[in-house]
Amino acid sequence: MLKKLRLICQGVLLALVLVFAYLHTIDNIYPSSHALCPFGGLASLYSLVTTGTFVHRTHASSLFLLLAVVLTALLAGRVFCAWLCPLGTLGEWVHKLGRRIGIKRPFVPPAPVDRALRYTKYLILALLLYFTWSLGHLFYREACPWAAFMTIFEPEELVEDVLIGGGILLAVLGASVYIERFFCRYLCPMGAALAIFNRFSLIKPLRDVECRGCQACDRVCPSGVQVSRATRVHDGDCIRCYACLDTCPEKGSLTLNLKRLKPALAGFLAVLVFAGTVLVSAQAGYWEKGRTLSRVSGQGEGVGQGTGTGMGQGIDQSIEGSDIPAALLEELQSIRATTTLQEISDAFPIPLEELYSLLEIAENFPPESTVRDIGEAAGVTRGQLLRLLAEYLNSSQER
């Protein structure tokens, strides 16, 4: 029951983020990789408190995802890592695949090396927050494995924008074949931020000191935690998968502190808390791109201060019924999130200066800026852009 339920939760969230990754290639009204990352909320906290704006490429959705993850951590510790995190899921599934194809003895680093490597994620967390808060932008984006994963349907952007992150992602998955939960153990900054909650969570595993010491719990722990040596299992590396409780052969030796609560239900409750927080914030409108603020380094005054007014809100995104030739309508429909300003200018044609004026964006945007770039910086979605172009072409014909 526990394994199947956790597998379903992992698979559903992984499928959802893949759907959004695909939709974002079509229209930038859908959340980007960083808008779907709780760490983006953590990276934006300093900027949000001091200036009232989000770091470029992060959005209100990032903050509410962070809130959802923190609420699950207060309930059950690092449960997000085992039940929901897409990168954690990928690493876990790759490791299981390795076992299936014949890698029966995963590599176990010597204990002193393992202990030292586990501190790496805390160092990464400190460095990422310090430089992001100091510089005011996601300086690490090119090396972000999550951003690389979310460009899976855009190989051109992967190569041009996050190639280093793609290499890191492949290296992490390769290492996961031999070391279970490699990323979670040694590198994940979000996991490092959540580790402290294992001590203070409402739900936590307990071990009876009278257990027979078979160490079955140690052998199944994907994070390599020595469960058999603990009384209260609040090690920061415990990801609350509850495999140890599910495996323990001695009834009552390893339980949750809330005795009547089953491990499967504990994990599922955390998933419901996460899903509920996301759904409530989405229902309240905080996932709308036009209603977020974004500080864009080096883009000039006013750019990236999308406040939900003007072009960021209330414009019909459909171009049906536009009184322009069918060929031009087809060309408009061919515009995608990866289409550049220069390509739009050449195709219709519209002088770049007029295009900048039409979209109400600063002229220091380079012509190679894509529809997605404009959306993330100025809050102009693809649908809004199509409508404005259709209106412009209609008025041009009338003249």
Tens of pLDDT, residues 282-326: 888 777 543 333 333 333 333 333 333 233 333 333 455 555 566
Q: Which two tokens stand for residue 256?
A: 């949750």
- Establish if 294 belongs to a structural domain: no
Residue 289 lies inside a defined structural domain of this protein:
no
Q: Which of 267, 283, 299 is the last residue of a domain?
A: 283
What is the mean pLDDT of each successive set of 10 residues along the chain, which is 399 residues long?
94 94 79 86 90 80 94 96 96 93 80 93 96 88 92 83 92 94 95 94 86 87 89 90 91 87 94 96 72 33 31 37 62 77 85 85 80 73 78 71
Domain boundary among 283, 299, 321: 283
The confidence score (pLDDT) of residue 359 equals 83
CA distances to 216, 240, 398 from 245, rounded to whole Å, are: 10, 10, 73
| pLDDT at residue 24 in the model | 81
Q: Who's near 245: CB < 8 A, 6+ residues apart?
A: 2, 205, 217, 254, 255, 256, 263
- Mark whether 92 and 232 lie in a shared domain: yes
pLDDT value at residue 303: 31
Confidence at residue 313, expressed as pLDDT on a 0 to 100 scale: 32
Return all residues near 233 (Cβ < 8 A) that are at least 6 apart.
204, 205, 206, 207, 225, 227, 244
Same domain, 318 and 250: no
> How many domains does one find in the chain?
2
Same domain, residue pair 226 and 345? no
First to last CA, the chain: 69
- The answer on 277 and 319 residing in a single domain is no
Same domain? 250 vs 141: yes
In a domain, 293, yes or no: no
Is residue 223 one of the residues assigned to a domain? yes
- Whether residues 23 and 84 share a domain: the answer is yes
Distance between CA atoms of 162 and 138, rounded to whole angstroms? 12
Residues 333 and 279 both lie in one domain: no
Range of the domain at 391: 313-398
Q: Does one domain contain both 63 and 110?
A: yes
Clarify whether residues 155 and 202 are in a common domain: yes
Q: Could you tell me which residues come within 8 angstroms of residue 392 by beta carbon, excluding any fewer than 6 positions away?
A: 350, 354, 358
Residue at 288 is within a domain: no
Beta carbons of 386 and 319 less than 8 angstroms apart: yes
For residues 379 and 273, state if they share a domain: no
Would 385 be classed as within a structural domain?
yes
191 and 319 fall within a common domain:
no
Domain boundary residue, one of 283, 305, 322 = 283
Cα dist from 350 to 186, 191, 380, whole Å: 51, 49, 18
pLDDT in tens, 147-173: 999 999 888 778 878 899 999 999 999
- Are 106 and 237 found together in one domain? yes
